[in-house]
Amino acid sequence: MSEPSPKPRVLITGSAGFIGFHLTRELLSRGHQVHGFDGMTDYYEVSLKERRNAMLLQDPGYSFTQGMLEDADLVMQVAREFQPQVIIHLAAQAGVRYSLENPRAYIDSNVVGTFNVMEAARELAVDHLMMASTSSVYGANEEMPFRETDKVDTQLTIYAATKKANEMMGHTYAHLWNLPTTMFRFFTVYGPWGRPDMALFKFVKAILNEQPLDIYNNGEMYRDFTYVTDLVKGIADLMAAIPERPADRIVPEGDSLSPVAPWRVVNIGNSDKVKLLDFVDAIEEATGKTAIRNYMEMQKGDVEATWADATLLQTLTGYRPETNVRDGIAQFVAWYRDYYRV
């Protein structure tokens, strides 16, 4: 019997971030060698990133470089030395609301940084380039659930605009250099080790500290909350779903595959929209405390609802996220209480 082929080596940008940390753990558990690249920026508490990275470094299959995506020479050097077969690009300046305050950070990281990653992938001719996008690219679209084949031309923030730019940059490189590329659109990811700027983290902190929490659009908001371990399983499973340029330019119905490039975009969401007030109710249940609710108007750049059609993910991988939001919130609250000793 022949020896099984080795697992592809994976370079992950943003490995010390919320999603990158969970994805790295998932891939290490599957036997991959992973090299992480992260700027360890102070957008939120660096100690949380350091703790995540320290946990990853306990695994001999993980190595790490600290650096900024804007440093083209360093990105290329790391890629040449590690020689990955797959690059998963998660690092970005995140946060919809922060993009209203500091839009230049999004151009530097999300556009220039992504270009540097794509250049490394092109030079190494990797088997699969995988890059994170966001449900925010659907912008002002009203027809739901959102499908990958929907037109997405009405972004409402510079964050969303940079992610749409990443999708188009990825398509161009896939076409020009025959570089197999998968973009994935995330839908409101939550779970243990999450980002402190995200709603769940802020709501739990406020409730436990008996402080008011801001609820925008008077609670008339809906989100497709996706538990982080479901999300990273979807990404890991998509590694093997390498897009191929269709020889006849014919694309199967429902597939977002480009007719002129080995490029595809895939939603990764829970396929269930949850009302924000029900989300708060679930946090109250998990914490055993009542929220002090501060109802506010819709914030600039926000959207009333997101809701993913994840049929394509299931078609490509046989997998579909399924964690119930109340179960996921309970697991986050348990982690939060343990981490912060509250």
Quick one: pLDDT at residue 3? 53
Give per-residue pLDDT as tens, 48-68: 999 999 999 999 999 999 999
Cβ-contact 117, 87 below 8 angstroms: yes
Q: Verify whether residue 295 is a known catalytic residue.
A: no
> 44, 62, 106, 159: which one is catalytic?
159
Interval 215-261: pLDDT, tens: 999 889 999 999 999 999 999 999 999 999 998 999 999 999 999 99
CATH number at 10-187+227-271+309-323: 3.40.50.720
- Break the chain into its structural domains and give their ranges: 10-187+227-271+309-323
Q: What is the pTM of this model?
A: 0.95
**pLDDT confidence of residue 177:** 98
Burial 27-40 (b: 16+ CB within 10 A, else e): bbeeebbbbbbbbe
The ranges of the chain with pLDDT < 70 are: 1-5, 96
Predicted local confidence at residue 53, as pLDDT:
98
Tokens of 29: 């558990």
Strand partners, 36: 12, 64
Residues near 180 by Cβ (< 8 Å), separated by ≥ 6?
Answer: 127, 128, 129, 174, 242, 243, 244, 262, 263
Evaluate whether 330 touches 236 at the Cβ level (below 8 Å).
Answer: no
Write out the H or E segment, with its range, that includes residue 19. helix 18-29
> What pLDDT score does 4 carry?
57
